[in-house]
Amino acid sequence: LLHRFAKASAVVASSVCPAYSARLPIVQLCRSAALLHQRSRAVATTAAASAMPSALSPGLNLSPAAQADLRRRFLQSQAGLPPLPVPSLEATLDKYMRTLAPIATEEELAEASRLVTDFKQSGMGDKLQQLLLKHAEGKDNWLTDWWVNTAYLGFRESSVINVNPGVRLPRQRFCSRADWLAFCAEAALGLVDFQRLLAEGSLPVERLRNAPLDMSQYYGVLGTCRLAQPVRDAQLVWDGRPSDYMVVAYENQFYRVQLLRPEDAQRGLWEPLPLPDVLA
> Do the bridges between strand 245-250 and strand 253-258 make them parallel or antiparallel, or are there none, so unpaired?
antiparallel
Q: Is the pTM of this model over 0.75?
A: no
| pLDDT > 70? residue 20 | no
The domain spans of the chain are 2-83+161-279, 89-160
Counting other chains too, the contacts that 175-181 makes at CB distance below 8 Å and 24 or more residues apart are 175/13, 175/16, 175/17, 175/20, 176/16, 178/12, 178/16, 178/279, 179/12, 179/13, 179/16, 179/17, 181/279
Mean pLDDT of the chain: 75
92-101, 183-192, 250-259, range with greatest mean pLDDT: 92-101
Report the pLDDT averaged over residues 39-44.
Answer: 30
Q: What are phi and psi of 255, to 5 degrees?
A: -125, 140
Burial class (CB in 10 A: 0-12, 13-18, 19+), 214: middle
Percentage of residues in the chain having pLDDT higher than 70? 72
| Secondary structure of residue 195 in the 3-state scheme | helix
Taking residues 73-97, report their average pLDDT: 88
1-5, 130-134, 253-257: which range is least confident on average? 1-5
Each residue of 118-165: pLDDT tens digit?
A: 999 999 999 999 999 999 999 989 999 999 899 889 999 988 888 887
Q: Cα separation of 260 and 244, whole Å? A: 4
Identify the pLDDT of residue 64.
Answer: 66
